[in-house]
Structure 1
Amino acid sequence: MEDIREVELGSLRATLEHHADGSMRVRSLEALPPVATRLTDRLDYWAEVAPERVFLAQRDATGAWRTVTYGAARAEVRRLASALLARGLSVERPLAILSGNDIEQGLLGLAAMLVGIPFAPVSPAYSLISTDYDKLRTILGKLQPGAIFVSNAAPFAKAITMAIDPAIEIIAAAGSLPDRAVTAYAALAATPETAAIEAATAKVGPDTIAKILFTSGSTGLPKGVINTQRMLCANQAMLVHWLSFGVTEPPVLVDWLPWHHTFGGNHNFGYVLTNGGSLYIDEGKPTPAGIAATARNLREIAPTVYFNVPKGYEELVPRLRADDVLRKTFFSRVKLTFYAGAGLPPHVAKELNALAKETTGERILMVTSLGSTETAPAALSCTKETARPGVVGVPLPGVELKLVPTAGKLELRVRGPTIMPGYWKDPEQTAKVFDEEGFYCLGDALKFAVPGDPNGGFIFDGRISEDFKLATGTWVSVGPLRGKLISAFAPFVKDAVIAGHDRDDVMALLFPEPDACRAFLGAEAEGKSDAEVLASEKLRSEIGQRLSALARESTGSSTRVARVLLLDELPSIDANEITDKGSINQRAVLQRRATLVTALYANPPCSEAISAT
């Protein structure tokens, strides 16, 4: 690894124990660093040590960067906390946030945490994209919030009218509503600081609920995950050990990852705050339309560590290739690139390495991690030695894994200080996800990267709940097969749904990437609808050739995909086919599109089917 840029990472070592019931225990050998009592203690610390350092930044309406320093953030957080206490917000009446990342949300969340008021950032998609607002109603019904914040009231007007009790106070940084009063965020921020803050803060301890994060609903309706101060602070202590370079060099992030998810809201936001770093809020998105804003921001701000999902890197790579300034700025001081949420396509990793090498003469270490909303999130992370494609790492300090043989795989269960105490007001679901020894059951499967050696890292082996048997009794491992399909059909396919339960063959429904399909067809695609593009013989032939090549490489019926169908209808968030973060719900897609699955398996199949030869 001599051509990789130097980066300081803490060691991750583990020990393996075999138990009589066939299960295994994997425990970290690393000591967990001291754990803070409250995450907001770090705001107090940095406001004293580096009061003029930028904490949060975002573009204003003119395109200039609007910033708040640690000193200013602490002062405003305390005024906001006084305002929240004056409204009687509490565990019984928490704060809900419906809009996306911005400075005001960040400060409001810290204010709520400071005085022990739980807050719940809710996906904006449930208000702005959904048309039936069922998920929003479900979430707010469970929360029973005492107040709701939105950055701009106007875009949320319909959702507020349709789904929110008129008695609940609406707080907004901008905008108004036609049929109800709105409290200005500025009014809260101007509230005089009161002595009640100190009394409330003194009651905040490790078991205090900091926030409630709702799962993305990839396996059902969203569940409210209770995040305690212990969870958040312990996970940051783990990251202080692992991402140790951030301790001596305060991190600079340019980050779009949403704060209503644990990756952006706990992992990244907390990492910046804990280490006195600066977070530049990226208004871009990992989409063909949204990547332009991300590229603009990265042209101006050089990150020291870069976090993204695989799709984000896939969209960024062509921009890096085409823009010298962007490429030089991006690679100028970045110590580490990190992805999570899905596997990184090999061609994307290869291109990133090539671009870094061409630009700086060095590659940048790329790592991943494994965890969930219920684990705060990081449970396993990669070392320099285990940073290989497919490897999700080794347990972090304080984490204990239990590997249980299940359906030919090793089911992953986790125990440690970062595990949730349960789901919000849902004891039945809570009981279902913990085993008799108190291990949280993620539903994921792992396998050893090096047989029998936990220090070689673990490979993600799919989700137990998604796997199924063919009519022959052969198990199909959905996760790895889905990843193989997406990689084989790149860049034409963004996701795949695997079918075949109790059938003779595996088949798949493919969600295409329309822009990539159009680019492949060139002039032929001009003036055509998406459905007409997908029906193109040139595209179908290309997909067919790749499918046939994949079939020839398969090792048996469980890895051979006999037919595929390109879908011209996007997955529906209201029908629970896709989550707000873009994860596909296998079961929901197969149920909603059962007619297409039947047509795919017909003999002869429907004319739209593409078969392996």
Structure 2
Amino acid sequence: MATAPVLDDALPGFREARLMPVDLAVERRDDGTILLRSRVAIADYDANIPADLARSAARQPDKPALAWRETGREGWATLNYAELKARIDAAAQWLIDHAPEGRPMLLIADNTPAFAIATFAAWAAGLPVCPVSTAYGALGGDYGRLAHVVAKVKPGVVFAENSAKLAPALAALDLGDAILVTGDPALVAKPAVAIDALLATTATEAVTIAVEAIRADDLAAYMLTSGSTGLPKMVAITFDNLAANSAQCRQMIGEAAGWHDVMLDWLPWHHAAGAFVLRTTLTEGGTLYIDDGKPMPGLFAESLRNLREIPVRFFNNVPLGYGMLVEALESDPDLRRTFFSQLKVMLYGGAGLSQPVYDRLQAAAIAETGHRIMLTSGYGSTETVSAFMAIHFETDRVGIGLPAPGAVVKLVPSGDRYEVRAAGPNVTRGYLDEPAKNAEAFDEEGFYRTGDMAVFNDPADPEKGLAFAGRAAEEFKLSSGAWVYGGSLRDGLLKALTPMVRDLVLCDENREYLTLMLWRTPEGDRDRITAALKTFNAAQHGGSSRIRRALLLDVPPDPNAHEMSDKGTINRRAVIDRRKGDIDRLYADIPDPDIILLQEPS
């Protein structure tokens, strides 16, 4: 076992987090390919997740399982483990009695107790779930994405909790012979069953028998990819995939994270990372406070309100959310005091965290506690269930870390970077009815191709972990044929523009030069941003990394137009396609005064 990475001795130490020790096996092949795996064996786990939840409920029936805010009510409403288990059993019995055997439940809901109950009830009844964002049912038009999912999955039950919000979509869609379950059937134009009818069902021994019949290789879920480059794919996930991934993450950071304790989380449960939090907290016996905020303008204030009330040992967010959080921590001592009072680990995922945001978070932690706080990555994808790599060692560097127990990371040389591929018990068996895409997604040895690039933080010492070095899908060519490495260039720009800019989009392929659209923070005045961009350009060595023009955007990214995912990450292609007028302004022969001119074409 190697020694721990060298840290800056001038800074205070990290608050004790008790992460998994680094014990890395490195295999180097003659062609330059490198295989990384942890010598720590994956711990035993039970793939029967409904049985695992039942054990949690039996151990602590009176402990709150879920907590949420109700409109017009002060404080938090709660559902304890005994109540949650009883409602799951009731709904499972109804599904056993009425649902078509084996056909999936399409679940369209926000993060609510009903979503959690429906998920575990479907599993207990032997049905896979396919959770979908309510945004799919709120976009209007022909509801193309939702219609695509219905046609692919062919659900036997459609669970659509918010009747008023989803009524137009439900009326427009052909649901076939699926049974529609909703909050208020009177508000929808099709025959429907009330959710209350499921919860009023008397459970029988049939539920216990159905749970005991679950096998590790049974299909548990179809999880949707983001669909950023087209219609979403349905990723087939087994109970073994889910349980293995929970076991991996428990081993890497679980003791510090305290999923058995108190969690406060906003990540959407129809997405891989949010589904992990819901599943792991309940099977570990923790209390999950549902945060209705999001890292978006106008919505993050709710997250800050909750963080002022609920101290946590573990905090999970996307880089955009951390950028908004650090601004609040620096100006709000009450928030800072509560946030850091019990905190052991912060985790980011979904994109690379900029080093300046990392440094500011640590400065706030030191000011409040006298210690740094472990800030780790959760690197994974829908196809790997959730994170299969993490930083589980003390370091000052951002990155994607090292593989979890049971996972094998294959690094295939690609210039001065490596393409990241993954194998392990957490990796999907493929996409639903997509043979061509399945063939593309896996290599000849069965490794899943993530499409991401990475480099070693220290090539001479692999135990210092990997750093994210771009996403192949974000790389494009200019009209000159020069490649733009969009992921790494974006990260560099964010670093140069912190704290003046919240996020940005690079424009655009097959153009003569690069331009930029960006959303600024309150600190980001035009002159400061212009100066920072000129400084950035001066350090670049080629036209494929220099920005010629920029535009400050006043209209925030619209999640209903897929410009931003429900977890707060920017969909570059959707932003560019939707804002064609702004693109035309950036590339106009005579730019208008709002365009920041940095370096004109020669």
Among 426, 448, 458, the alignment partner of 1:450 is: 458
Query: Partners in 1 of 2:216 and 2:257 — Cα distance?
Result: 23
Q: Equivalent residue for 2:128?
A: 118
Q: Equivalent residue for 1:461?
A: 469
Query: Partners in 2 of 1:372 and 1:409 — Cα distance?
Result: 20
Q: Equivalent residue for 2:4?
A: none
Q: Equivalent residue for 2:93?
A: 82
Residues 383-398 of structure 1 mapped to structure 2, 5 A cutoff = 383-385=392-394, 387-398=395-406
Identify the range of structure 1 (242-251 vs 66-75) with the bigger mean alpha-carbon deviation: 242-251
Q: Equivalent residue for 2:157?
A: 147
Q: Equivalent residue for 2:83?
A: 72
**Contact map agreement 1:337 1:367 (CA 8 A) in 2:** yes
Q: Equivalent residue for 2:414?
A: 406
Query: Partners in 2 of 1:566 and 1:325 — Cα distance?
Result: 32
Q: CA deviation at 1:158?
A: 1.3
Q: Equivalent residue for 1:284?
A: 293
Query: Partners in 2 of 1:274 and 1:242 — Cα distance?
Result: 17
The alignment's TM-score, normalised by the length of structure 1, stands at 0.89
Q: Provide closer, same or farther for how the CA distance between residues 501 and 377 of structure 1 changes in structure 2, counting only shifts above 3 A.
A: same
| Residue identity in the other structure for 2:225 | T
Q: CA deviation at 1:471?
A: 5.8
| Residue identity in the other structure for 1:544 | T
Residues 205-354 of structure 1 mapped to structure 2, 5 A cutoff = 205-245=215-255, 250-266=260-276, 268-354=277-363
Q: Provide closer, same or farther for how the CA distance between residues 197 and 577 of structure 1 changes in structure 2, counting only shifts above 3 A.
A: same
Query: Partners in 2 of 1:240 and 1:277 — Cα distance?
Result: 13
Q: Provide closer, same or farther for how the CA distance between residues 63 and 163 of structure 1 changes in structure 2, counting only shifts above 3 A.
A: farther
Q: CA deviation at 1:258?
A: 0.4
Q: Provide closer, same or farther for how the CA distance between residues 270 and 12 of structure 1 changes in structure 2, counting only shifts above 3 A.
A: farther
Identify the range of structure 1 (236-245 vs 463-472) with the bigger mean alpha-carbon deviation: 463-472
Residue 554, structure 1, aligned to residue 561, structure 2: no
Q: CA deviation at 1:443?
A: 0.4
Identify the range of structure 1 (159-168 vs 236-245) with the bigger mean alpha-carbon deviation: 159-168
Q: CA deviation at 1:246?
A: 5.3
Q: Provide closer, same or farther for how the CA distance between residues 264 and 131 of structure 1 changes in structure 2, counting only shifts above 3 A.
A: same
Among 515, 519, 531, the alignment partner of 1:512 is: 519
Query: Partners in 2 of 1:13 and 1:89 — Cα distance?
Result: 48
| Residue identity in the other structure for 1:157 | A
| Residue identity in the other structure for 1:611 | L
Residues 566-585 of structure 1 mapped to structure 2, 5 A cutoff = 566-567=552-553, 577-585=563-571
CA deviations over 1:232-266 (Å, ceiling 9, x no partner): 10011111211241598823111111001111112
Secondary structure of 2:464's counterpart equals strand
> Size of the alignment, in residue pairs?
588
Q: Equivalent residue for 2:449?
A: 441
**Contact map agreement 1:509 1:567 (CA 8 A) in 2:** no
**Contact map agreement 1:446 1:458 (CA 8 A) in 2:** yes
Give the superposed CA RMSD.
2.7
Q: CA deviation at 1:605?
A: 5.1
Unaligned runs of 5+ in 2: 1-6
Q: CA deviation at 1:440?
A: 0.4
Q: CA deviation at 1:463?
A: 0.8
Q: Equivalent residue for 2:190?
A: 180
Q: Equivalent residue for 2:503?
A: 495
Residue 195, structure 1, aligned to residue 199, structure 2: no
Q: Equivalent residue for 1:544?
A: 530
Query: Partners in 1 of 2:423 and 2:512 — Cα distance?
Result: 39
CA deviations over 1:452-482 (Å, ceiling 9, x no partner): 4321100101112322345665432110111
Q: CA deviation at 1:13?
A: 2.7
Secondary structure of 1:226's counterpart equals strand
Q: Provide closer, same or farther for how the CA distance between residues 316 and 595 of structure 1 changes in structure 2, counting only shifts above 3 A.
A: closer
CA deviations over 1:18-68 (Å, ceiling 9, x no partner): 223332212221111012121222212212222222211111231332212
Unaligned runs of 5+ in 1: 521-538
Q: Provide closer, same or farther for how the CA distance between residues 49 and 588 of structure 1 changes in structure 2, counting only shifts above 3 A.
A: closer
Q: CA deviation at 1:510?
A: 0.9
Query: Partners in 1 of 2:561 and 2:138 — Cα distance?
Result: 15
Secondary structure of 2:544's counterpart equals coil
Q: Equivalent residue for 1:523?
A: none
Identify the range of structure 1 (81-90 vs 127-136) with the bigger mean alpha-carbon deviation: 127-136
**Contact map agreement 1:12 1:395 (CA 8 A) in 2:** no
Q: Equivalent residue for 1:373?
A: 382
Among 15, 35, 42, the alignment partner of 1:5 is: 15
**Contact map agreement 1:236 1:274 (CA 8 A) in 2:** no
CA deviations over 1:467-508 (Å, ceiling 9, x no partner): 234566543211011122233334554433334645554x12
Secondary structure of 2:89's counterpart equals helix
The alignment's TM-score, normalised by the length of structure 2, stands at 0.90
| Residue identity in the other structure for 2:539 | E
Among 422, 425, 433, the alignment partner of 1:417 is: 425
**Contact map agreement 1:166 1:180 (CA 8 A) in 2:** no
| Residue identity in the other structure for 1:553 | A
Q: CA deviation at 1:551?
A: 0.7
Identify the range of structure 1 (56-65 vs 389-398) with the bigger mean alpha-carbon deviation: 56-65
Q: Provide closer, same or farther for how the CA distance between residues 423 and 63 of structure 1 changes in structure 2, counting only shifts above 3 A.
A: farther
| Residue identity in the other structure for 2:129 | F
Query: Partners in 2 of 1:291 and 1:214 — Cα distance?
Result: 25
Q: CA deviation at 1:417?
A: 0.5
Query: Partners in 2 of 1:378 and 1:30 — Cα distance?
Result: 17
| Residue identity in the other structure for 1:512 | W
